[in-house]
Structure 1
Amino acid sequence: MTAHSPIAAQVFPPEARQRFAAIYPDEAARLTHGLTGHPLLAIEALAGLAERMPAASVEYNLGALPLGVRPEDTPSNGLSLGDTIRTIETNGSWAVLKNVERDAAYGALLDAALAEIAPLVEARTGPMLNREAFIFLSSPRSITPFHMDPEHNILLQIMGEKVMTVFPAGDEELVPAVQSEAFHAGGHRNLVWQEAFRARGTAVTLAPGDAIHVPVKAPHFVENGAGVSISLSVTWRSERSVAESELHGLNALLRRRRLPTGRIGARPERQGVRRLAYRIMRKLGV
């Protein structure tokens, strides 16, 4: 297989697709995949990709972090991105390459993966919107702090081992409503960590060939194992995730005016009146 060849085998085997169909969109679950050893996901290929990506599409820092860290307190590693990736085994760092689907070869990889599960997704949450891919690289024992993401996400472990601890989405003791509202208004993904939260999470060990479905805004943190870790994250939005964002936006507008906020149900895409109210308020600059 060359770096630009199409995927010769299924990304998600039948049992993984069956499991995904049973839990999507609300549950976290371990899956399996067939991308281990793919040449596009080798360290040198990723260093080359990183060096041709715009600066806004890459993020990297030292990986020895506490589970809770403010974005402004995240320390730099003092290296270039290419050097960070090529020496990831020894430099104690963490890096993410964002929107790698903008590169044609990696876009084809994303398309191949999502095509296999698109019918399952569309049956539950409608068409896949804003399809994106991210690649994470981390040194041994690196930590990805407690955070949440706005997309439907399947993370595929390519190299090394890590433990992802996933928490229920929608638990306001973990993520207060005002923090969700700030997040949807462009706030940072990192969350406030309390050690008492740990018992409420589910720790999932991921080895090469494993994957995990992470629901929208399910808080999680990641602890890397004894070797270098490479993971591919394939993500998408849906009418449901867009609706949730709009409803949090509406609540933020109401809260600022000391008006009662509304409940966001399990099917936010069905709360059409409130979504329309948010769009009108935004258009009017209210």
Structure 2
Amino acid sequence: MGSLIELAAEGRGAFPHRPFALRHRLAGHPLFSLEKLVEVAGRMPSDGVEYNSGKVGIDQKPEETPLVDLPPTEVVRRIREANAWMVLKRVERFPEYKALLQEVLDGVARDMGHRDAGDAGFTNLEGFVFVSSPNATTPFHSDPEDNFFVQIHGDKFFHVIDNRDGTVVPPQAFEITPSMHRNLPYREEFESRATVFSMKAGDGCFVPYLWPHWVRTGDSYSISMAMTWKSAEVRRSNKVLFMNGLLRKWGFPQKPLGTNPALDSLKAAAYTALRAPIEPLRGSEALRNLIRGALFGRNANYYLAGRKG
């Protein structure tokens, strides 16, 4: 039995620097049935579920995002008519999803000539399941990890924008600041730089680290999964981006990542030292929210503010 994700020669040549299309064998998997996802939504901590109306703009202003007046389980159960967008975050907290994520990325690593995912440098494996109503939009944003995105049910149109020259999204916007919403300013002319993946069940795409993108669903409800990981280089970069965001929050704006490698190394070391005493506390949802709020203010938990249902 082959890998659950299939990479063509073109994809192997582009990885991990450019986006590309892929195929997978996860459509119809029981872990992605609506019944199973209703169960998962009910077992998630409140900061593990984010949802709102799917009737939003590509350049949606975060403070004007319409909400959905339903509890998470009902959003999933009624996704056909709920006009909603939802993400179930870090589903690898559940053993069955952790095992699937490991199986998929081990298979990809072996196809690339490695022993397994760890040998390929894939660490911090995380899974995000998206459940969206028909004709829903995910606004323009970027993510601080590499991502094999797989479409399980329905159609999805994934617009990935080339920002390698930094003229679409400025470096400051990539700083990791929990109090700053992930949505990014968008202009129609960005589409001249877009690679658009039109995906049905069984299709997918690779989204490289920090490549900005936006997404819309087709005329049926959609189920997708982002299978993410972080290389050693990405982990180090994220430490620097976090410190840059924290220092900017405290009134000390920083030059972009990579401008001063020696200073970046100091920031990465400072992050590691600051994180060590906090890490044991993050097992508690209440303490996670408290720590984010203490470091970044009341908006650090923006995805919980004003939640209905």
Do the two structures share a fold, i.e. TM-score over 0.5? yes
Deviates more, 1:224-233 or 1:117-126: 117-126
Report Cα offsets for 1:93-132 as digits up to 9, x if no partner. Answer: 1111001011111111111111112354979996222110
Match of 1:201 in 2: 194
In the alignment, the residues of structure 2 paired with residue 158 and residue 257 of structure 1 have an alpha-carbon distance, to the nearest angstrom, of 44
In the alignment, the residues of structure 2 paired with residue 46 and residue 152 of structure 1 have an alpha-carbon distance, to the nearest angstrom, of 24
Match of 2:223 in 1: 230
Alignment map for 1:104-143 (pairs within 5 Å): 104-119=95-110, 120=112, 127-143=121-137
Unmatched segments (≥5 aa) in structure 2:
275-309
Report Cα offsets for 1:169-197 as digits up to 9, x if no partner. Answer: 4442221122123xx23332210111222
Q: Percentage identity across aligned positions? A: 33
In the alignment, the residues of structure 1 paired with residue 44 and residue 244 of structure 2 have an alpha-carbon distance, to the nearest angstrom, of 37
TM-score by length of 1: 0.84
**Residue 161 of structure 1, aligned match among 136, 155, 158:** 155
Match of 1:40 in 2: 31
In the alignment, the residues of structure 1 paired with residue 168 and residue 207 of structure 2 have an alpha-carbon distance, to the nearest angstrom, of 16
Letter in 2 for 1:141: N
Assess, with a 3 A threshold, how the Cα gap between structure 1 residues 19 and 108 changes in structure 2: closer, same or farther. Answer: farther
Match of 2:53 in 1: 62
Match of 2:62 in 1: 71
- The structural deviation recorded for 1:277 is 2.4
Matched, 1:185 2:147: no
Assess, with a 3 A threshold, how the Cα gap between structure 1 residues 51 and 247 changes in structure 2: closer, same or farther. Answer: closer
Assess, with a 3 A threshold, how the Cα gap between structure 1 residues 51 and 275 changes in structure 2: closer, same or farther. Answer: same
In the alignment, the residues of structure 2 paired with residue 55 and residue 121 of structure 1 have an alpha-carbon distance, to the nearest angstrom, of 40
Deviates more, 1:117-126 or 1:28-37: 117-126
- The structural deviation recorded for 1:19 is 4.3
Matched, 1:213 2:202: no
SS of the aligned residue for 1:274 comes to helix
**Residue correspondences, number:** 267
- Aligned residues of 2:148 and 2:227 also touching (Cα < 8 A): yes
- The structural deviation recorded for 1:245 is 2.4
Structure 1 residue runs of 4+, over 4 Å off?
121-126, 249-259, 280-284
- Aligned residues of 2:241 and 2:257 also touching (Cα < 8 A): no
- Aligned residues of 1:147 and 1:189 also touching (Cα < 8 A): yes
Match of 2:3 in 1: 10
TM-score by length of 2: 0.78
RMSD: 2.8
Match of 1:5 in 2: none
Assess, with a 3 A threshold, how the Cα gap between structure 1 residues 17 and 106 changes in structure 2: closer, same or farther. Answer: farther
SS of the aligned residue for 1:212 comes to strand
- The structural deviation recorded for 1:251 is 5.6
- The structural deviation recorded for 1:18 is 4.3
In the alignment, the residues of structure 2 paired with residue 25 and residue 280 of structure 1 have an alpha-carbon distance, to the nearest angstrom, of 26
In the alignment, the residues of structure 1 paired with residue 134 and residue 217 of structure 2 have an alpha-carbon distance, to the nearest angstrom, of 6
Letter in 1 for 2:232: E
- The structural deviation recorded for 1:163 is 0.5
SS of the aligned residue for 1:50 comes to helix
In the alignment, the residues of structure 2 paired with residue 161 and residue 72 of structure 1 have an alpha-carbon distance, to the nearest angstrom, of 28
Assess, with a 3 A threshold, how the Cα gap between structure 1 residues 210 and 275 changes in structure 2: closer, same or farther. Answer: same
Match of 2:265 in 1: 276
- The structural deviation recorded for 1:67 is 0.4
- Aligned residues of 2:75 and 2:82 also touching (Cα < 8 A): yes
Deviates more, 1:139-148 or 1:112-121: 112-121
In the alignment, the residues of structure 2 paired with residue 190 and residue 262 of structure 1 have an alpha-carbon distance, to the nearest angstrom, of 19
Report Cα offsets for 1:191-247 as digits up to 9, x if no partner. Answer: 011122222212110111001000011100001101111001100011121232244
Letter in 1 for 2:203: D
- Aligned residues of 1:122 and 1:128 also touching (Cα < 8 A): no
Letter in 1 for 2:265: L
